[in-house]
Amino acid sequence: MTAPLLAVAGLGVAYGEIAALRDVSLTVGPGEAVALLGANGSGKSSLLRAVMGLVPIAAGSIAVAGREIAALPPERRARLGLGYAPEGRRVFAGMSVDDNLDVACRGGAAERRRRRTSVLALFPQLAEHGSRRAWQLSGGQQQMLAIGRALMTAPSVLLLDEPSLGLSPLLTAQLLARIRTICDGGTAILLAEQNVVQALAICDRAYVLQTGRVVAAGPARDFAQDPTLRRVFLGADPARSG
């Protein structure tokens, strides 16, 4: 069996006296897209932030390609292969599209151009607006820019937090299709996503969080095809999911 690129074991996160994550374990393998599902407040964002080093952990371990990273700061984790696009886009509003992308690349000018060309090929809407300020973009374009900026670090594992939040159904479908393309290109993905049906359609496996614990895990197709699992764990109504 291929060793996982990302391995989280027994992870605990607390905000003061409140436990956000309890004994969470998961893996993401090479070339996999893994969905992280659950209601608001279930711990999805806390998990991604803990993996990236943005919140301290109370227990457990986090490893990338077999290397323990729980004691490392976020910038060291990024250099070891983690990329992160947070919820809410958080692009640099006053900077141009091209500058938003270039600032994330630690390579020289030639490497920045190469990576930017790859990102713009993935998101051609951005290629038309390279000199525009990020605040001038639509919500969907800003989300593409946030993901593109994360890709400029050439991650082996990309963490995506609610990329479809606030987008129309059409833009959501287009964006999630691009995420599958990223994965097919060799980047492993851990995707926290509110759109259960479409997330399951593009992912290989899924974990479901409830009140900070993993309550179900397995192939994405099993969740997609089992109405009881979808209703009990995900709150998805098959009759209305279209």
Name residue, tokens 């759109």. Answer: 195
Average pLDDT, stretch 168-197?
A: 88
Average pLDDT, stretch 199-224?
A: 91
Measured CA to CA, the distance from residue 149 to residue 139 in angstroms comes to: 15
Average pLDDT, stretch 99-117?
A: 85
The pTM for the full model equals: 0.88
pLDDT score at 234: 57
Closest CA to 37 of 164, 152, 143, 173: 164
Identify whether the C-beta of residue 182 lies closer than 8 Å to the C-beta of residue 172: no
Average pLDDT, stretch 132-158?
A: 90
Domain boundaries, the chain: 6-93+150-240
pLDDT tens-place string over residues 188-204: 999 998 888 888 999 99
What DSSP designation does 133 have?
A: B
Of 47-61, 64-78, 119-133, 177-191, where does mean pLDDT reach its minimum? 119-133
2 pLDDT exceeds 80?
no
What fold, for 6-93+150-240? Answer: Rossmann fold (3.40.50)
93 pLDDT exceeds 90?
no
Confidence of residue 242 (pLDDT cuts 50, 70, 90): very low
pLDDT score at 206: 95
129's torsion region: left (phi>0), alpha (psi -120 to 50) or beta? alpha
7-11, 35-39, 217-221, 227-231, range with greatest mean pLDDT: 7-11
Report residue 47 as tokens.
Answer: 């998990």
What DSSP designation does 2 have?
A: P
Measured CA to CA, the distance from residue 209 to residue 102 in angstroms comes to: 35
